[in-house]
């Protein structure tokens, strides 16, 4: 059939129009998107998506949307044939281009300039559309491919990890009653993305003045200083913690895939108050009134569609066009909520839906702790802290700063050590906030009279690597063991004097056997862990952690974590997150300006981008302007990066270093300790620091 013949008689039947749009949409859009989601069931867990939501979304992508496009094109052709042919060709070319982009991402062509990639994809799409109109064989192949929606839909619903969310019963059959010989209240908190080195000094001891509440737990219980996780990912680590078994591959963190956990063990004898963040490990019969908050259908679909839009952007756009998209590896949901200006951050902070993502479950958990008559209680919380985004000050207020950490090259870090150190500072600030949460839990337990008699277990699921040149902050390998594998673990036994620092190689699979030992319970299934208080606990001569790069085998002496802690102390000193300064300048922190000889401005000009934020500070506000930022201009080219001391109300509060961005502009940013600010107006003075040590000179930077 020639093009002229096609133009005269148009052999494309109405059914061909619809089928061509449906088939190409399914191959170009639905299949790759559902394939990605099918391999990451946590996407749906994090949004409390019901089985109906998942099925409807898959139908929307494989049937509803492609049919709507197909019938819309057909309708236009019915109204005006020539316009319809043009629209039909444009749709086929666009979908063909999307498909070509994904194919090019699998080849060396992906490294071409962005517009070259887009242009090549468009050419491929046009060729495909032209071929469809010109050759009957292509149209015939399209008819045979009309089964594609059903095939893609079936594969997604029945063969991917999502199938467990759809078809597994949420109310797992209740097991037999397990006797509890020594019942006691159990309080268990699993923090997220939390290396133990963040709590330690260079000798491997707790920084008690910085983290007084963790120090309290260590005095009243046992600190397992050498504890590790066995998985780098939350969806594997949490099941291992709660089941006492190393998690197998291809399992979802649900009660359907893990029917034997701490929750099912205690369900018959305990009142369970369980607050899960991204998992569904507690079955309905045990946690029907205390599991994760259930969103309304409208809220579920709003967040689902909004986040799906971001995921689709990362999946379908060329690499050069995804840099400004919100990252999809920093959290499990609310991807687009992580970006924006300072005013956007204030608005997000005040939005209930955003706050409920992290803080409200913690408050609900603390409020649920109370003295009750009858059966004892299990209080369990998976807290999404100090996990990124690092936005909280030690007080729990938000720092008004960009949510993208300095030095970030998501999902890893760039090579600029100073910028990555500033990101590390934000992590440590949030760890101090976590210490405050631990203090609130202890205070609540003491208020209701449960502290002494409770079994308290506080740990993390895994750590995080914050160092220059790390390709992925959560991927464990030989270089990141000390940051990702080594985690905090504190256990306070009921009515025990405590005060133990235990260097035994504890693993997260030991948690359940330890709790069972303390409560005098015989676990009715085999575990991979042991009780950490058992007299005959086995000697461990090697450690293992599994991740996306395979299983890493390492020693048991804990040297990896101590090495990370030593580096941290070199950067920040022993006083916490606000001791950061460029090398050789930490001694300036806290100095009064009148104690320095400061020369007049000489050819260098600074502009503070958020100066207005300091004209009327409310120290009780939910957000504080602790991140100061600005630009540097000089009459002569600057010789590399410069050191800037930031004085607040006459005292140097922080010292930072400038950096030259890709646009050629020299910028700086620094974190001001909240204690340096006062209510009302604050005077900000910028000082250029030239040289090091006794040879330093100081120059005013005009604003």
249-301 per-position pLDDT tens digit: 678 888 878 888 999 999 989 999 999 888 889 988 888 655 555 567 787 78
Separation CA 20–CA 129 (nearest Å): 10
3-state secondary structure of 693: helix
- Average pLDDT on 93-111 reads 85
- Average pLDDT on 684-691 reads 93
Token representation of residue 214: 């963790």
186-293+356-571: CATH topology = Alkaline Phosphatase, subunit A (3.40.720)
Residues 92, 95, 96, CA angle at the centre, nearest 5°? 80
Pairing of strands 412-413, 408-409: antiparallel
CB 235 within 8 A of CB 502: no
CA distances from 33 to 1, 118, 147, 323 (A): 35, 20, 18, 20
Instruction: Compare 489 and 602 and report the one with higher pLDDT.
Output: 489
8 pLDDT more than 60: no
Selection from 35, 39, 33, 38 nearest residue 548 by Cα: 39
Pairing of strands 550-554, 543-547: antiparallel
Pinpoint the alpha helices (H) of 244-351: 262-266, 284-287, 297-316, 342-350
3-state secondary structure of 652: strand
Alpha-carbon Rg of the chain, whole angstroms?
29
pLDDT at 302 (0 to 100): 79
pLDDT band at 693 (very low <50, low <70, confident <90, very high): confident
540 pLDDT more than 80: yes
- Average pLDDT on 588-615 reads 91
646 DSSP β-pair partners: 654, 686
Residues in the chain: 703
Separation CA 466–CA 431 (nearest Å): 14
Selection from 234, 232, 211 nearest residue 223 by Cα: 211
Separation CA 195–CA 19 (nearest Å): 53
Phi and psi for 430 in degrees, rounded to 5?
A: -70, -30
- Average pLDDT on 566-582 reads 96
Helices (H) and strands (E) in the chain, counts: 23, 22
Separation CA 364–CA 360 (nearest Å): 6
Q: Which of 30-34, 197-201, 278-282, 600-604 has the highest mean pLDDT?
A: 197-201
Q: Which CATH architecture has domain 581-701?
A: Sandwich (2.60)
pLDDT at 326 (0 to 100): 63
CB 6 within 8 A of CB 134: yes
Instruction: Compare 160 and 465 and report the one with higher pLDDT.
Output: 465
Separation CA 569–CA 4 (nearest Å): 77
Selection from 87, 83, 81 nearest residue 10 by Cα: 81
- Residue 83's Cβ-count burial label (10 Å; 0-12, 13-18, 19+) is exposed
Token representation of residue 308: 């799906």
628 pLDDT more than 50: yes
pLDDT band at 414 (very low <50, low <70, confident <90, very high): very high
Separation CA 592–CA 589 (nearest Å): 9
pLDDT at 539 (0 to 100): 93
Separation CA 209–CA 435 (nearest Å): 11
Start-end of CATH 3.40.720.10 domains in the chain: 186-293+356-571
Separation CA 315–CA 105 (nearest Å): 10
Lowest mean pLDDT, pick from 316-320, 371-375, 420-424, 475-479:
316-320
pLDDT in tens, 446-493: 999 999 999 999 999 999 999 999 999 999 999 999 999 999 999 999
Token representation of residue 593: 């300006």
3-state secondary structure of 151: helix
pLDDT band at 229 (very low <50, low <70, confident <90, very high): very high
pLDDT at 346 (0 to 100): 34
Token representation of residue 180: 């509890």
Selection from 585, 578, 567 nearest residue 657 by Cα: 585
Separation CA 197–CA 560 (nearest Å): 9
pLDDT band at 168 (very low <50, low <70, confident <90, very high): low
Selection from 239, 212, 217 nearest residue 431 by Cα: 212
Separation CA 131–CA 527 (nearest Å): 60
Separation CA 165–CA 168 (nearest Å): 6
Q: Centre a 10 Å sphere on the Cβ of residue 270 and count the other Cβ atoms it contains.
A: 21
pLDDT band at 567 (very low <50, low <70, confident <90, very high): very high
Contacting residues for 583 by C-beta, under 8 A, at least 6 apart: none
Q: Centre a 10 Å sphere on the Cβ of residue 291 and count the other Cβ atoms it contains.
A: 22
3-state secondary structure of 125: helix
DSSP 296: P
617 DSSP β-pair partners: 680
Q: What's the whole-number average pLDDT of the chain?
A: 87
pLDDT at 520 (0 to 100): 97
Number of alpha carbons in the 13 Å side-chain half-sphere of residue 698: 21
Instruction: Spell out a b/e string for 167-187, using b for 16 or more CB atoms within 10 Å of the CB, else e.
Output: ebebebeebeebebeebbbbb
Helix, strand, coil percentages, rounded to 5, for the chain: 45, 15, 40
DSSP 197: G
Lowest mean pLDDT, pick from 54-58, 142-146, 219-223, 661-665:
661-665
Selection from 255, 251, 250, 257 nearest residue 265 by Cα: 255
Instruction: Spell out a b/e string for 396-420, using b for 16 or more CB atoms within 10 Å of the CB, else e.
Output: ebbbbbbbbbbbbbbebbeebbbbb
What single string gives the DSSP state of each residue in 220-251? Answer: HSEEETT-B-SBSSHHHHHHHHHHSSPPPSS-
Residues 142, 143, 147, CA angle at the centre, nearest 5°? 95
Contacting residues for 386 by C-beta, under 8 A, at least 6 apart: 191, 192, 193, 194, 198, 427, 430, 431, 433, 434
- Residue 248's Cβ-count burial label (10 Å; 0-12, 13-18, 19+) is exposed
1 pLDDT more than 70: no
CB 542 within 8 A of CB 505: no
pLDDT at 627 (0 to 100): 96
pLDDT at 46 (0 to 100): 63
Separation CA 558–CA 549 (nearest Å): 21
Separation CA 242–CA 511 (nearest Å): 7
Start-end of CATH 2.60.40 domains in the chain: 581-701
CB 330 within 8 A of CB 389: yes
């Amino acid at each position: 059939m020639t093009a002229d013949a096609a133009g005269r008689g148009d052999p494309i039947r109405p059914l061909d129009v619809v089928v061509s749009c449906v088939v190409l949409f399914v191959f170009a859009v639905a299949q790759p998107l559902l394939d990605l989601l099918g391999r990451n069931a946590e996407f749906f867990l994090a949004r409390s998506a019901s089985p109906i939501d998942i099925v409807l979304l898959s139908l929307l992508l494989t049937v509803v949307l492609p049919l709507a496009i197909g019938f819309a094109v057909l309708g236009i052709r019915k109204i005006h044939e020539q316009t319809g042919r043009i629209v039909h060709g444009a749709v086929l070319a666009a979908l063909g281009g999307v498909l070509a982009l994904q194919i090019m991402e699998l080849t060396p062509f992906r490294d071409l300039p962005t517009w070259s990639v887009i242009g090549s994809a468009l050419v491929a799409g046009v060729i495909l559309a032209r071929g469809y109109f010109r050759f009957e064989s292509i149209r015939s192949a399209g008819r045979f491919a009309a089964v594609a929606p059903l095939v893609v839909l079936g594969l997604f619903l029945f063969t991917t990890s999502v199938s467990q969310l759809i078809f597994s019963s949420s109310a797992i059959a209740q097991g037999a009653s397990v006797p509890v010989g020594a019942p006691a209240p159990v309080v268990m908190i699993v923090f997220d993305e939390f290396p133990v080195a963040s709590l330690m000094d260079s000798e491997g001891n707790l920084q008690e003045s910085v983290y007084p509440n963790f120090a309290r737990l260590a005095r009243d219980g046992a600190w397992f200083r050498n504890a590790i996780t066995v998985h780098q990912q939350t969806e594997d680590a949490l099941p291992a913690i709660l089941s006492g078994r190393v998690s197998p591959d291809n399992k979802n963190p649900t009660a359907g895939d893990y029917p034997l956990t701490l929750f099912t063990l205690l369900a018959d004898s305990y009142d369970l108050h369980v607050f899960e963040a991204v998992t569904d490990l507690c079955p309905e019969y045990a946690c029907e009134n205390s599991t994760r908050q259930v969103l309304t259908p409208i809220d579920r679909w709003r967040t689902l569609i909004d986040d799906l839009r971001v995921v689709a952007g990362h999946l379908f756009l060329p690499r050069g066009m995804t840099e400004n998209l919100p990252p999809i590896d920093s959290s499990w949901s609310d991807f687009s909520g992580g970006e924006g200006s300072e005013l956007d951050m204030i608005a997000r902070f005040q939005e209930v839906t955003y706050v409920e993502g992290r803080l409200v479950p913690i408050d609900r958990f603390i409020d649920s702790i109370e003295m009750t008559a009858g059966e004892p209680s299990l209080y369990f919380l998976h807290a999404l802290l100090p996990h990124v985004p690092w936005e909280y000050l030690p007080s729990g207020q938000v720092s008004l700063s960009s949510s993208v950490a300095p030095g970030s090259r998501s999902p890893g870090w760039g090579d600029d050590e100073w910028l990555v150190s500033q990101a590390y500072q934000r992590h440590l600030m949030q760890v101090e906030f976590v210490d405050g949460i631990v203090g609130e839990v202890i205070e609540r337990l003491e208020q209701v009279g449960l502290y002494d008699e409770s079994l308290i277990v506080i740990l993390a699921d895994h750590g995080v690597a914050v160092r220059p040149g790390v390709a992925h902050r959560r991927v464990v390998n030989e270089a990141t063991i000390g940051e990702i594998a080594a985690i905090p673990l504190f256990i306070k036994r009921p009515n025990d004097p405590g005060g133990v620092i235990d260097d035994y190689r504890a693993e997260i699979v030991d948690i359940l056997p330890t709790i069972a030992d303390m409560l005098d319970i015989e676990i009715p299934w085999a575990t991979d862990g042991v009780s950490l208080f058992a007299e005959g606990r086995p000697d461990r001569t090697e450690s293992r952690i599994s991740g996306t790069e395979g299983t890493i085998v390492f020693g048991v002496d804990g040297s990896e974590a101590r090495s990370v802690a030593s580096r941290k102390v070199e950067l920040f000193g022993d006083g916490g997150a606000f001791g950061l300064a460029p090398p050789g300048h930490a001694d300036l922190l806290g100095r009064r300006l009148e104690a320095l000889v400061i020369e007049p401005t000489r050819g260098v000009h600074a502009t503070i981008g958020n100066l207005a934020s300091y004209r009327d500070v409310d120290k009780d506000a939910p957000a504080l302007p602790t991140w100061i930022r600005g630009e540097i201009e000089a009459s002569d080219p600057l010789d590399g990066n410069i050191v800037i001391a930031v004085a607040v109300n006459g005292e140097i509060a922080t010292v930072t270093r400038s950096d030259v961005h890709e646009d050629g502009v020299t910028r700086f940013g620094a974190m001001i300790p909240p204690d340096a600010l006062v209510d009302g107006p604050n005077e900000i003075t910028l000082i250029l620091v030239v040289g090091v040590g006794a040879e330093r000179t100081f120059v005013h930077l005009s604003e």
